[in-house]
Structure 1
Amino acid sequence: MPFVKEALLLAGENRLFTIDVLVVGAGPGGYVAAIRAAQLGKSVMIADKSEWGGICLNSGCIPSKALISAAHSYEAVSASQAMGITAEQVKVDFAKVQSWKNGIVKKMAGGIAGLLSGNQIQAIHGEITLINDHEAILNNGLEQLHIRFEYCILATGSHPIELKSLPFGGRILSSADALELQEIPGSLIVIGGGYIGIELGQTFSKFGAKVTILEGSERILPGFEQEMAQAVAKRLNKKGVTVHHQAIAISAKQTSKDVTVTFLVNGEERQITADYVLVAVGRRPNTDSGLDRLGLRQMEGGLVHIDRQCRTSLPNIFAVGDIVAGPALAHKASYEGKVAAEAIAGMSSEVDYRAIPMVVFSDPELASVGLSEAEAAAQGIDIAVGKFPYAANGRALSLQANEGFVKLVADRATGIILGAQIAGAEASGLIAEMGLAVEMGATLQDVAITIHAHPTLGEMTMEAAEAALGYPIHQLSSRGSRRT
C-alpha cells in the first residue's frame, strides 16, 4: 500500500509524525478531503482501519449498484418478448455475479490508492485515537504511531442500525452481509422500506427470490414525494413483492434452514418465514469512540455539530459525511470534504445544500433535487409546476420504460427553478441537469430554450419547463392553446 512501508520505517526511527492535516476515515468524504487538502499545498496523512473507499465503495454504494445492474440485465434478457427477442433457459451464475462485482470494487479501491499516492498523501491502515485537539495515536496492529497535526478532518462514516430483537448473525443480515451472499435466496424478508431495503429487496426479487417488505410507516420511501414512491410500489406489486405497512418486527427465531419473524400490523401479531432476513432500518454515525472527551459539541443521535465550513466546536477540527447532520449520502460527504479542506487552506468556501440530489436506484429510479411542491408551498411560495410523462417520450418507449414523470417546481413570479423530481429510467443521471439549474438559479425559460437532443430522455426536462410556462408541445395544456 502506498506510503505504508515508508511510514512504518519513519515510525521506527522516532515514532513521531508531524503533519498539517490528519484525515480520519478514507470513505468518500475522507479521501476527497485529503486529496483537496494536498492540492492546496498541505502535508496530509489519511488513516482508516478498513479499506480505501470506506463503506460506500466496499460494502455499500458501488457493490449494491453492481448487483442492481446485474439483476436488471437478467430481467431484461428474460422479459424481452415484446421487442421480439426470446431467450430460453436464461440462468444466473451468482458466484460469477459476485466475482464480477468484487472485481469492480477492487479496481476502484486500487484507483483511490493510486490517487492518494499520486498526491503525496501518507495513507496508513490503522485505528486512530485522538488524545487532544492536536495529537493522535494510530494503532496498526504492529505498533503505535504518535501523530501531531495542525488540523484534523473527521470522516468516520456510519454503520447499520442493529435491532435488539433481531441482532445480526446467521440468517439475520445487515446490508453488507446481504451484498456478500453466495446464493440467491429462495425467499427474503426485508425489514425497512427505505432506500437500502427497497434497492436490495428489488434486486433479489429480480433474481427470483420471493420478497416480503416490512415497513413501519404508512408507505415506502417516506423521504420522497408520495407520487414518486407510488411508482416504485406499483412495480413491486407487479413483481409479486409483498409489502406490509405500519409493520413492526418484534422477534426472530432461526433454524439451520430458515428464520421466522414475528411482527405486528395494527396491533395484530403475524409471522412469516424465509431463508434470510435483511435488516435495513437506517444507519448510525460512528461517533461513539470518545469524541466527547475532546469537548466536541454533539447533537441528538451522536451527530457532530459543525458550522458552514464544516468546522466543529474545536476550531482546528472539522467533520464531514455521515457524522454530521443531513442525509447520509456519499456525494454530500465528498462535497463537505472539499469545503473543509478549502477552509483549512484559508478559502471562504461554505456548504450550500440547495442542490444536493437525492437518488434511489429502485425500479423505476427516483431522483430529487431542491424543493418539492409541498416544501415550496410550506414556505409560502407561489409556484408554477410543469410535469411531463415518460409515456409521451419516444426514447422512453423504445427502452420499454414508459412509466414515470419529470416534474419541475419554479417560483411563478420569477420563473426561477426551485426543485425537480424525476421518477423513471435513468433518473439518477437526468437529475444532474436540474441540480445545475437549481445551483445557478436558472429559470424555466433557460431550460425551455436550451436545445435538447432528440430522441433522448433529457428532452423531458425541456418539455416539463414548457409545460410550467403554459405552452407544452407534446402534451395538451390544461389552459388550452394560446398565442404569445
Structure 2
Amino acid sequence: MLGKYGVFPPTDPEFEDPPKLDKYDVIVVGGGGGGYHGAFQLSAGGYRVLMVDDKGNLGGNCLYEGCIPSKSVFYMVYLAERLRRLAKRSAGAAEVKAIWEEAVDHKDEVQYLRYLQHIREIKEHGNVDFVKGVARVLDGRRVEVTAVDGSWRKTVEGSRLLLATGSVAVRLPIPGAELAIGSEELFGYRTKRRTLPREVVVIGGGYIGVEVASAMASAGAKVTVVEMLPRIMSGWDSSIVSMIEGALKGRGVEILTNSRVTAIREESGQKVVEFQRPDGSKGTVAGEEVVMAVGRKPYVEGLEALGIVEKGRVVADSSMSTKAPGVYAAGDVLGKYMLYHAAVKESTVAAWNIMMGRPVYEVNFNAIPLTLFTEPEAAMVGISEDEARARGIPYVAVQYPLEDDSYAQIVGVREGWVKLIVERESQRIIGGSVYGEAASMIINEIALAVAVNARVRDLALLAHAHPTIFESIDRAAVRFSL
C-alpha cells in the first residue's frame, strides 16, 4: 500500500511540503529509476518538473528492498565464501551466522549512503520540485497529491505526465500466504529481520528466488526451492540454467519443479508448504521461514481511466509514449523489462522525446542485459541460442571457457564460459551469454556490441587489459570461423 512502510527512508523537511506551483511543464509520478532520471534530464533542459514519491526519497523499490540492498548482502556472503575457499578453510556455524548479520548491517549502510546522495542530487536540480506524497492521476493533465500523513491535499496540472509508478510483489492467493515473507522483510530499509533462518523454503524459481536461495545456502541455511514450472529460470538460455541448477545443488539446495504451491500452514514451530504436482500427487516441505518470490506486477491502480492499461500493465511504444496524448510511461509499470537499468533508459528516452516535442529516440530493448547475482554470476543479452534456433536464424556460437582465463584463476572462480552468438551471414553479434566470474560486468560490453551492430572481428581485435576478466570476450571472438 502506498505510503505504508515499516521504516521510511531519510528525507528532507522541505520535501514534505505541498507542491509549490499549480502548473508544471511535466509531472513525474514515482521517484524510482523510471522517474527521477527523466526528471533530472528535463530539469537540465529548463523544464519545470514536479516529482512525487510516497517514500520521500529516490530509488524506488530497487533501493528500498530490491537490487541495491540484496546485492549488498549477497556480495558480502559470497566474498566471505570466496576468501574461505582461497584460504582452503571452512567456517564454523557461529562465523557463518555472523556473516549474514554483518551483511544486513552493511546493506543498511549502503542504503543510507545512497539516500543521502539522492537528497543532494534533488537539491542540485533546481527545476525539480520533489514532494513526499501519494499521487492520484485524475486525467491526462491533472494529478492530486496528498501528504502521506493526510495533513494536506493539492491538485496540480502538468502539460505532460511521466508515469513511473513501478510494481508490487505478487502474493499467491492461497491459504496461509500471510505466513510468508518477501523482499521487504529480508532486505527492506532497517529491516527487523537480521538473522539467517536455519531452514528456508523459497517459493518461486525465477531470478529473485534463485538469488535468495543461492545466498542463503552459501551463508549456511538449508534451502528448498519450490517451482511450479518444469524448470527454474524460465526464459533463460538452457545452457545457463543447467549450470545454475548444478551450482545450487552443489550448495545443498533442493529444487522441486512441477510443484504448484497450494497452501502454507504452521505446525510444530515450523512453516509447512503444501504443493501439488501435475499428476495430482501432493507433497509438503517445511522450514523455519518461507520466502515468497513469485514475481512482481505493474502498479496500475488509478491509471485505467486514461485508457492506457491492457492486461494489467501500461502500454507504451519504444518512444515511451502511450496512446493518451501527452502521457508517457517508464519502468516496471510497463510490465516489460522489469529491471532498474531498463527503467533508467526508458525514463531518459521519455524525457528526451518530451523535450524534442516528437518521438525521435527509442529504447533498444534487444540490447538490455539480464543478470543473475548468484555465485558464480550469470547474464545474457540479445538473442540466445534457443531463440535463434526457434526463429530459424543461421548463427554460429563461439565460446571461451573461463577455466583458462587468468583473472578467473587469480580469484579462484574458474567455472563457466563466455559465449557470443554471431549471425552467420553478416557476422554481427546478435546475442551473448556469460556464466562465471563478473558475468554482470562482462555482459555490458556484449550488450554494446549488440546495440551498435558490431561484428565479431571488432571484438576479436579489441585489446583488453591483462589480466582482467574482459579478455575472455576477445578470446571467444577470435574463435569464430565460417
TM-score normalised per structure 2: 0.91
| 1:165 aligned residue (156, 174, 178) | 174
**How far 1:240 sits from its partner (Å)?**
0.7
**How far 1:377 sits from its partner (Å)?**
2.9
Verify the 8 A CA contact 2:19 2:50 in the aligned structure 1: no
What residue number does 1:227 align with?
Answer: 239
The alignment partner of 1:467 has SS state of coil
Unaligned runs of 5+ in 2: 1-9
| 2:29 aligned residue (16, 20, 24) | 24
Verify the 8 A CA contact 2:140 2:325 in the aligned structure 1: no
Instruction: Give the Cα separation in 2 of the matches to 1:144 and 1:442.
Output: 52
User: Structure 2: which amino acid aligns with 1:445?
Assistant: R
What residue number does 1:480 align with?
Answer: none
TM-score normalised per structure 1: 0.90
What residue number does 1:329 align with?
Answer: 339
Verify the 8 A CA contact 1:3 1:123 in the aligned structure 2: no
What's the Cα RMSD here? 2.0
| 2:413 aligned residue (401, 404, 407) | 401
What residue number does 1:125 align with?
Answer: 132
What residue number does 1:97 align with?
Answer: 103
Verify the 8 A CA contact 1:185 1:276 in the aligned structure 2: yes
1:77 aligns to 2:83 (yes or no): yes
Verify the 8 A CA contact 1:7 1:122 in the aligned structure 2: no
Q: Can you list the C-alpha shifts for 1:33-73, whole angstroms capped at 9, x where unaligned?
A: 11111112110111011242110011000011011012112
**How far 1:380 sits from its partner (Å)?**
2.8
Instruction: Give the Cα separation in 1 of the matches to 2:81 and 2:138.
Output: 53
Verify the 8 A CA contact 1:22 1:46 in the aligned structure 2: yes
The alignment partner of 2:447 has SS state of helix
The alignment partner of 2:285 has SS state of strand
Instruction: Give the Cα separation in 2 of the matches to 1:69 and 1:257.
Output: 31
Instruction: Give the Cα separation in 2 of the matches to 1:8 and 1:105.
Output: 24
What residue number does 1:478 align with?
Answer: none
Verify the 8 A CA contact 1:19 1:43 in the aligned structure 2: yes
Verify the 8 A CA contact 1:168 1:174 in the aligned structure 2: no
Q: Which moved more, 1:54-63 or 1:360-369?
A: 360-369
| Distance 1:3-1:96 versus aligned 2 partners, 3 A rule | closer
| Distance 1:210-1:101 versus aligned 2 partners, 3 A rule | same
Instruction: Give the Cα separation in 2 of the matches to 1:177 and 1:3.
Output: 25
What residue number does 1:257 align with?
Answer: 269
The alignment partner of 1:41 has SS state of coil
1:316 aligns to 2:321 (yes or no): no
Instruction: Give the Cα separation in 2 of the matches to 1:2 and 1:244.
Output: 43
User: Structure 2: which amino acid aligns with 1:130?
Assistant: V
Verify the 8 A CA contact 1:77 1:87 in the aligned structure 2: no
| Distance 1:286-1:167 versus aligned 2 partners, 3 A rule | farther
| Distance 1:218-1:97 versus aligned 2 partners, 3 A rule | same
| Distance 1:252-1:418 versus aligned 2 partners, 3 A rule | same
| 1:357 aligned residue (352, 369, 391) | 369
Instruction: Give the Cα separation in 2 of the matches to 1:139 and 1:162.
Output: 27
1:136 aligns to 2:146 (yes or no): no
**How far 1:91 sits from its partner (Å)?**
4.4
1:147 aligns to 2:156 (yes or no): yes
What residue number does 1:178 align with?
Answer: 186
Verify the 8 A CA contact 1:172 1:277 in the aligned structure 2: yes
What residue number does 1:113 align with?
Answer: 119
Verify the 8 A CA contact 2:25 2:47 in the aligned structure 1: yes
Q: Which 4+ runs in 1 deviate beyond 4 A?
A: 1-4, 85-89
User: Structure 2: which amino acid aligns with 1:305?
Assistant: V
Q: How many equivalent pairs are there?
A: 460
**How far 1:137 sits from its partner (Å)?**
1.0
The alignment partner of 1:388 has SS state of strand
The alignment partner of 1:468 has SS state of coil
The alignment partner of 1:151 has SS state of strand
Instruction: Give the Cα separation in 2 of the matches to 1:325 and 1:257.
Output: 38
Instruction: Give the Cα separation in 1 of the matches to 2:177 and 2:28.
Output: 30
Give the number of the structure whose alpha-carbon radius of gyration is greater.
Answer: 1
User: Structure 1: which amino acid aligns with 2:472?
Assistant: M
Instruction: Give the Cα separation in 2 of the matches to 1:4 and 1:47.
Output: 14
The alignment partner of 1:456 has SS state of coil
Verify the 8 A CA contact 1:262 1:271 in the aligned structure 2: yes
Superposed, which structure 2 residues align to 1:38-77 within 5 Å? 38-50=43-55, 51-77=57-83
| Distance 1:164-1:455 versus aligned 2 partners, 3 A rule | same
Q: Can you list the C-alpha shifts for 1:141-191, whole angstroms capped at 9, x where unaligned?
A: 21002211111100000011111115553x411222222422110100001
User: Structure 1: which amino acid aligns with 2:37?
Assistant: V
Q: Which moved more, 1:54-63 or 1:71-80?
A: 71-80
